[in-house]
Structure 1
């Protein structure tokens, strides 16, 4: 597919669409398209930095597995989100594992090419910092919710965040391709607790549930649930 087609997809996202045109052009000129099959590893915790990625199709699962084999799912990165910027700043190894979910298409800007661009135009570091600061804000929000919110409110808020693409989508999506076990892992809840909350929301006419899919039927009532 032509790079300009991917460009239009990336421009639907807040971060890329607000970049200076010259920086957009430079990123696309350095980029290469990479495809992952479902479950294929992109990088694992401890791997050396390999650059910046954007999801074009499908999604990427970011998480970690303990020595006991328990998996923590931090996020599902979907189009048109970018990820991988932390190792760009500090040059340290990857902090988590990244796997393709379904057939996944990524845009990859190699570390060396990106650092060369930023050395040539240091003013662009601020743009990359904005990408990381947005995620840092979301992390603080999630930590606060984990400490203060009851489980139903946390679940409702996370569904809203996913529906809104963590600030990328307006209006929010109504149908989320999200298995219940993945949602449970994101929220550090048991699958049983997650299933019960979802069924309660379904009973109130707020959500519709089907295999691997959650449909938001009443957006305002879901927002109200976040305030419980």
Structure 2
């Protein structure tokens, strides 16, 4: 089972958020307590780096973002998430995430692999 399969299974039991292209899910500085799994579509994360330059990352279907909100109390979003196409997302709070890991322990490994892949892509694009 892949992370997307697990997220789809969870989505059948919970709320799915839909966004139209151009809609903002959250903005830099917003307080957040949930992460998101992208079931369909693409979301662009944009941020301002320490040097004042703007950066961005396009999150594809099957990946998660906003995971820092699950581990940091009073987490403030570091970037703005905007749908670049029509999207379906699952919103996961800490309890839903822990449930997913309990029901499908490989989900945690799949999410770590997803985050690692995204970080590598960002690092490579900075060079």
* TM > 0.5 fold call: yes
Per the alignment, do residues 97 and 70 of structure 1 end up closer, same or farther by CA in structure 2, a change over 3 Å counting?
same
Q: Any unmatched runs of 5+ in structure 1?
A: 1-10, 146-186, 190-228
Segments of structure 2 that go 5 or more residues without pairing to the other structure are none
- After TM superposition, the score normalised by the length of structure 1 is 0.42
Runs of 4 or more, structure 1, over 6 Å off, are none
Partner SS for 1:102: coil
Residue number among 43, 47, 57 corresponding to 2:40 in the alignment = 57
1:46–1:117 CA distance, 2 compared to 1 (3 A): same
How many pairs were matched up?
A: 125
For 1:79-129, what per-residue CA distance to the aligned partner results, in whole angstroms no more than 9, with x for missing partners? 2323222211223222221101022222223x2xx42673x7874696564
Which structure has the highest helix share of the two?
1
Q: Which structure has more strand as a fraction of its residues?
A: 2
| Alpha-carbon distance in structure 2 between the residues aligned to 1:77 and 1:141 | 11
1:59 Cα deviation after fit: 0.8
- Higher relative contact order structure (alpha carbons within 8 Å, sequence separation ≥ 6): 2
Q: 1:100 aligns with which of 83, 105, 118?
A: 83
- Cα RMSD over matched residues? 3.6
